[in-house]
């Protein structure tokens, strides 16, 4: 993913250099920074979703054992 992004950026630099743009490298750097920020944000959100799912499953298991615990057999039932 990162290699593909870098190849596209290099192609853009060559295109902008041919047009005579002096700020080609600045444009590329801004684009790379924006893409990296978006990728980090996406990774952060993915981890947050996994954490929420894990917490929900953990809470469901606690409720399952609390509701289905039998006083006579002292064994939790399956949910």
Q: What confidence tens digit (pLDDT) does each residue in 15-42 have?
A: 766 666 666 677 777 888 888 888 888 8
CA separation for the pair 61, 46 (Å, rounded) = 23
Distance between CA atoms of 30 and 41, rounded to whole angstroms? 17
16 falls within a domain: no
Residue 67 lies in a domain: yes
> Does residue 52 lie within any of the structural domains?
yes
Please calculate the CA angle 60-64-66 and round it to the nearest 5 degrees: 115
Work out the pLDDT band at 50, boundaries 50, 70, 90: confident
Domain-located, residue 26:
no
Predicted local confidence at residue 19, as pLDDT = 63
Find the domain containing 71 and state its range. 41-79
* Domains in the chain, number: 1
Does 34 map to a domain? no
Asked if residue 73 is part of any domain, the answer here is yes
- For residue 70 the two structure tokens come to 């039998």
């Amino acid at each position: 993913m990162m290699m593909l992004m870098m190849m596209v950026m290099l192609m853009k630099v060559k295109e902008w250099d041919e047009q005579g743009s002096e700020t080609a490298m600045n444009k590329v750097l801004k684009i790379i920074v924006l893409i990296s920020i978006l990728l980090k944000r996406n990774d952060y959100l993915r981890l947050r979703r996994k954490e929420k799912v894990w917490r929900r499953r953990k809470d469901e298991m606690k409720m399952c054992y609390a509701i289905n615990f039998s006083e006579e057999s002292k064994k939790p039932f399956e949910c």
